Amino acid sequence: MAPAAQLIGSSSAFLDAVEAASAAARLSRPVLVIGERGTGKELIAERLHRLSPRWGGPLVSLNCAALPENLVDAELFGHEAGAFTGASRARAGRFEDADGGTLFLDEIATLSAAAQERLLRVVEYGELTRLGSNKPVQVDVRLVGATNEDLPGLVARGRFRADLLDRLSFEVITLPPLRERAEDIGVLALHFGRRMASELGWPRFVGFTPQALALLEAHPWPGNIRELKNVVERAVYRWGDEATPVGRIIIDPFESPWRPGGAPAPVASLPAKIDPAGDVAAPARPASVADLRAAVHAYEKDLLLAALERCRHNQRKTAAALALTYDQLRHALKRHDLLEKE
C-alpha cells in the first residue's frame, strides 16, 4: 500500500475534524465528509480507511460528477454483457471492487434519483444487482461520501433522498476552509515549497520573503489547500533561484495585460500604509535597509497599530479595513505581541 498523504495543520478546527475521523475510523459505518472544494476531503477518507480494521482491504474512489448520468449505475454496480450498447462483456462495479474495504464516493450529491435508490439498497442490505442481471451480489463495503453541498437543504428541495441521507449520516465530518486556518497557511506553504524544490532538484528550500509570506497569509483562498498548493508550486518554479527566498507570488495565473474578455484581475499585493486619520497613503520608501526581515516586520507592525488606532481597537473593523479575516488579524497581532494591548 502506498504511503498515506499528509494531513498538515495545527488549527483547532482542523484538528477537531482529524480527531473526529480518527474516532469514526474503527467503526464500519457510513461517514459523510463535508467541505468546500480543495479542503482535503479525500485525505480524510483515506484516514478513515487506513485507521480502520479494513486497512488491509482496497480503498476505491469514484468521483460521481465525473461520469455521465447514464454510466454512473454501471460504474457503481457493474453490468452484464449486453446490458447496454457497448457492454460487450460483464464487468464488476466499484462496490464489488471495494469488497472488504472502503468505497469513497466524491461529489455524492450529484447522483441521480435512480442511483440514489440503488445506493440506498446497498447501504441498507449490503446487496446489489448488476445492470442486466437478476442475480443479487453480496458486498461488504464501508461507504464514505463527500460533497461541498448542503445535503439537508437538497433534501428539503427534493434533490436528495431523505432516507438515504439518514443512512449515510452516522457521522458527519465538516472540514474548515483554509481562510479559517490562518495559522496553518505558512506551514502548508513551506511544505509545498519544499516538495516543489525537491522536484526541481534543489538541495534545499530557503523559504519565502516576509512580504511574500504576508501576502499568502492575507489571501482568502477560495480554492483552499488545492489553490494554495498550485500558487506555491508555481511561485517556486518561476522564481528559479534556489539560493534566495521566493519573493514573487502570483495568485492569479491568468493575470496579463493581454487577458481576453476584459481588464486583468488586480495584482495581489501587500496593503498600502494606513494613516490613522483614515486616509490611505503610499508606504514611505526608506533611504536604506540593513536588515530586510526586521524592516518588513516593523513595517507590518506599524500597519497594524495604525489600523487599530483608526478603528478604535475594534478588531473586527480592523480586520475588514485590512482586508483580512478576523482569525488572520488575530494571528498577525499575536505575531507582533499586540494582543495584550487590546
Query: Which residues does 42 contact at the CB level (< 8 Å), separation at least 6?
Result: 61, 104, 106, 146
Show the DSSP H helices in 219-291 as ranges: 224-239
pLDDT of residue 93: 87
Whether residues 63 and 160 share a domain: the answer is yes
Indicate whether 22 and 64 sit together in one domain. Answer: yes
Question: Is the domain of 168 the same as that of 20?
Answer: yes
83 and 218 belong to one structural domain: no
Phi and psi at 314, nearest 5°, equal: -85, 110
pLDDT of residue 303 exceeding 90, the answer is no
Comparing CA positions, the residue from 282, 272, 202, 200 lying closest to residue 234 is: 200
Q: Convert 285-322 to b/e letters by CB count within 10 Å (16 or more is b).
A: eeeeeeeeeeebeebbbebbbbbbebbeeebeebbebb
Percent of the chain with pLDDT over 70: 86
What CATH number is associated with residue 211? 1.10.8.60
Q: Which of 139, 158, 176 is the last residue of a domain?
A: 176
What is the arithmetic mean of pLDDT over 73-102? Answer: 82
At 322, the pLDDT band (50, 70, 90 cuts) reads: confident
Contact 247, 332 (CB under 8 A): no
Local structure of residue 216 (DSSP, 8 states): H
The answer to whether residue 1 sits within a structural domain is no
Please give the pLDDT value at position 340. 58
Residue 238 falls inside a structural domain: yes
CA atoms within 13 A on the CB side of 44: 32
Residue 104: which pLDDT band, with cuts at 50, 70 and 90?
A: very high
Count of CB atoms within 10 A of residue 4's CB? 12
pLDDT in tens, 256-295: 878 887 554 444 444 433 343 343 344 444 545 566 677 7
| Residue 109: closest CA among 140, 79, 75, 153 | 153
Among residues 270, 286, 304, which one ends one of the domains?
A: 270
d(C-alpha 228, C-alpha 251), whole Å: 9
CATH number of the domain that residue 298 is part of: 1.10.10
Domain that holds residue 312: 271-342
Q: At what angle do helices 292-310 and 326-335 cross, to 10 degrees?
A: 130
CA 215 – CA 265 distance, rounded (Å):
16
* Cβ-based burial of 155 (10 A; exposed 0-12, middle 13-18, buried ≥19): middle
Domain co-membership, 197 together with 322 = no
Query: Which residue did the predictor score with more confidence, 304 or 185?
Result: 185
Same domain, 162 and 17: yes
Residue 320 has a pLDDT of 81
193 lies in the same domain as 311: no
In a domain, 327, yes or no: yes
Q: Does some domain include residue 152?
A: yes
Based on the fold, state whether residues 106 and 234 are members of the same structural domain. Answer: no
Q: Is residue 2, in this structure, part of any structural domain at all?
A: no
User: Could you tell me if 314 and 331 lie in one domain?
Assistant: yes
pTM of the full predicted structure? 0.73
Q: Are residues 164 and 230 in the same domain?
A: no
How many domains is the chain built from?
A: 3
Residues 261 and 308 in one domain: no
CA R_g for the chain: 25
Output the domain CATH number for residue 87.
3.40.50.300
- Domain identity same for 32 and 55: yes
Mean pLDDT of the chain: 86
Where among 129, 150, 176 does a domain terminate? 176
